[in-house]
């Protein structure tokens, strides 16, 4: 039952929310067409386009604060995680749709974390690439810190795998090539993502892959980059499935850590589950550190041997044994794109998205091999770079709920192996954190 009982109370809260202009509010107060029942009144305003369903639900619950952040009005909640809550927003004057990430309260209350986060967000706004979600603005309003980003009308790869299971080799390779293009652009400019996973990669209905939170994760994870922090931090607990070996031990990681995580992500796209799925968090960490690199051929017999080798190299335990740049990764994956790497354009049919409205179309430069380059060596981007690569393939049924998922085998791991891994971890200095977790 709504907290707000009648139309008068509802319109009073609407006035407090600043969601509508004064002239609109005056018209609503004087019209005889609105029902006196608050719920019916709200529903009519939704039908008239005055309010969104999210806004009306909040107002009916008596919540009227936080709808307006600077020039942006919040239309709907579209995501929530350890870093904060993401809303669909709209610029009040320009009417441009954006994604607004509001920093979580526990992070916003830490002054040092806020300063570091805002500083890095401003730096990340300089990243302009068709495969990276662009940061537009960083602001503060009524004690709330927020980031305004490009709105992507799409779904995460995690959602796709959950709904439809593994991708084909061609689709997965093209997705990884796009992600590599965005990461290469960022790496050349001194950014390491540190949290690459299916949840942080989105795909639009026209097949463009977007890297989320580029440049925004280090400040959030800085206080929990050691093993104990990783085990106990809610903000990055889900990352354990894709955490590089070195990231579990230290905060000073480089681009090769992203390569490991991208490899683990590619593994998930091709098998439907993470590399060390189905075991407790501390055992996953030990597997990332010392376990055998899982081979795609052990889970799918239809995949090319060469692709298995590429993913295994991306997930090598030692950074020096991996590809050294994501440009090298992209080159290695090209044989499994639809046309052998001549292009990577993919178009998703309109039916794959719940909302058929066109997504933002960005542009991106061609991938470059940046081995040995620093950010100062990177030439300026052209004014009109070539179009971003897109994913090719038939995605007509990709998001059809209820379709059967492919069955991928998940061989069990003997308990004796886990015992050996734990002993090995203790022997090299990880024992304190792991023992505390196991015994606690």
φ/ψ (deg, to 5) at 85:
-110, 140
pTM, full prediction: 0.73
Residue 216 pLDDT > 90: no
What number is the average pLDDT over the span 107-123?
Answer: 81
For 404-419, write each residue's pLDDT tens digit: 333 344 434 343 433 4
| pLDDT (mean) for 21-28 | 92
CB 2 within 8 A of CB 43: no
Question: For position 201, what pLDDT does the model report?
Answer: 96
Spatial distance between the Cα atoms of 289 and 426, rounded to a whole number of angstroms: 12
Place of tokens 């009648």: 6
Q: How many Å apart are CA 174 and CA 390, to the nearest integer?
A: 7
Question: What count of Cα atoms within 13 Å lies in the side-chain half-sphere of residue 424?
Answer: 14
Domain with CATH 3.30.200.20 in the chain: 68-150
Q: CATH 1.10.510.10 spans which residues of the chain?
A: 154-373+386-413
Task: Supply 377's token pair.
Answer: 């060596």
Angle between helices 281-290 and 415-425 (to 10 degrees): 70
Just list the catalytic residues.
195
pLDDT band at 205 (very low <50, low <70, confident <90, very high): confident
Alpha carbons 26 and 22: distance in angstroms, whole number? 6
Q: Is 344 exposed, middle or buried (0-12, 13-18, 19+ CB in 10 A)?
A: buried
- Residue-wise pLDDT for 301-353, tens only, equals 999 999 999 999 999 999 999 999 999 999 999 999 875 544 444 333 232 33
| Residue 222 banded pLDDT, cuts 50, 70, 90 | very low
Question: What is the CATH topology of the domain spanning 154-373+386-413?
Answer: Transferase(Phosphotransferase); domain 1 (1.10.510)
Do residues 365 and 129 lie in contact, with contact meaning Cβ atoms separated by under 8 Å? yes
What average pLDDT score do residues 157-179 get?
94
Q: How many residues does the chain have?
A: 440
Percent of the chain with pLDDT over 70: 70
Mean pLDDT (whole number) for 137-152: 88
d(CA 133, CA 79): 15
Walk across the sheet containing 201-204 and list its strands: 154-156, 201-204, 209-211
The pLDDT-based confidence of 249 (bands split at 50, 70, 90) is: confident
Candidate from 28-32, 139-143, 161-165 with smallest mean pLDDT? 139-143
The most distant pair of C-alpha atoms in the chain lies apart, rounded to whole Å, by: 77
CB-based burial label for 413 (10 Å; 0-12, 13-18, 19+): middle
Q: What are the structure tokens assigned to 332, written together?
A: 């290695």
CATH number 3.40.50.2300 is the correct assignment for the domain at 68-150: no
Query: Which pLDDT does position 2 carry in this prediction?
Result: 59
pLDDT value for 340: 53
Residue 240: pLDDT over 80: yes
CA–CA separation, 189 and 196 (whole Å): 17
DSSP 14-40: HHHHT-S-HHHHHHHHH-S-S-SBHHH
Q: Where are the beta strands (DSSP E) in 108-200?
A: 135-141, 144-150, 154-156
Token pair in block for residue 437: 């977790």
The answer to the question of whether 234 is labelled as a binding residue is no
Return the pLDDT at 332. Answer: 96
Angstrom distance (rounded) from CA 25 to CA 13: 11
Q: Please check whether residue 182 is in contact with residue 265, taking contact to mean a CB–CB distance below 8 angstroms.
A: no
> What does the pLDDT average to over 357-367?
31
């Amino acid at each position: 039952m709504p907290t707000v009982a009648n139309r008068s109370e509802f319109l009073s809260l609407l006035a407090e929310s600043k969601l509508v202009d004064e002239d609109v509010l005056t018209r609503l107060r004087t019209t005889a067409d609105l029902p006196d029942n608050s719920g019916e009144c709200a529903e009519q305003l939704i039908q008239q386009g005055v309010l969104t369903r999210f806004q009306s639900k909040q107002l009916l619950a008596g919540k009227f604060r936080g709808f307006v952040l600077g020039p942006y009005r919040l239309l709907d909640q579209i995501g929530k995680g350890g870093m904060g809550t993401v809303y669909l927003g709209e610029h009040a004057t320009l009417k441009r749709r954006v994604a607004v990430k509001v920093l979580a309260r526990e992070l916003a209350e830490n002054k040092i974390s806020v300063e570091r986060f805002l500083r890095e967000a401003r730096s990340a706004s300089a990243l302009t690439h068709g495969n990276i979600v662009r940061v537009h603005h960083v602001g503060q309003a009524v004690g709330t810190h927020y980031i305004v980003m490009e709105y992507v009308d799409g779904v995460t790869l995690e959602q796709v795998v959950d709904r439809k299971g593994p991708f084909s080799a061609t689709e997965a390779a093209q997705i990884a090539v796009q992600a590599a293009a965005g990461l290469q652009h960022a790496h050349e400019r001194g950014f390491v993502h540190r949290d690459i996973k299916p949840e942080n990669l989105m795909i639009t209905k026209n097949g463009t892959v977007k890297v989320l939170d580029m440049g925004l994760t280090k400040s959030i994870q800085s206080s929990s980059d050691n093993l104990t922090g990783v085990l106990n931090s809610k903000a990055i607990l889900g990352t354990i499935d894709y955490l590089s070996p070195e990231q579990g031990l230290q905060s000073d990681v480089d681009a090769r850590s992203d390569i490991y995580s991208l490899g683990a992500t590619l593994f998930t796209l091709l098998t439907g589950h993470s590399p060390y799925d189905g075991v407790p968090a501390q055992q996953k960490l030990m597997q990332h550190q010392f376990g055998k690199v899982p081979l795609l051929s052990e889970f799918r017999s239809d995949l090319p041997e060469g692709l298995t080798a590429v993913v295994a190299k991306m997930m090598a335990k030692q950074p020096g044994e991996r590809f050294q740049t994501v440009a090298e990764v992209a080159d290695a994956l090209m044989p499994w794109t639809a046309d052998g790497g001549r292009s990577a354009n993919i178009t998703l049919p309109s039916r794959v998205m719940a909302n058929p409205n066109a997504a933002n179309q960005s542009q991106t430069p061609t991938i470059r091999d940046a081995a040995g380059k620093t950010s100062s060596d990177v030439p300026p981007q052209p004014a009109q770079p070539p179009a971003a690569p897109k994913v090719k393939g038939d995605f007509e049924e990709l998001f059809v709920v209820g379709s059967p998922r492919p069955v991928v085998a998940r061989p069990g791991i003997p308990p004796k192996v886990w015992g050996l891994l734990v002993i090995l971890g203790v022997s090299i200095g990880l024992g304190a954190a792991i023992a505390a977790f196991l015994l606690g």
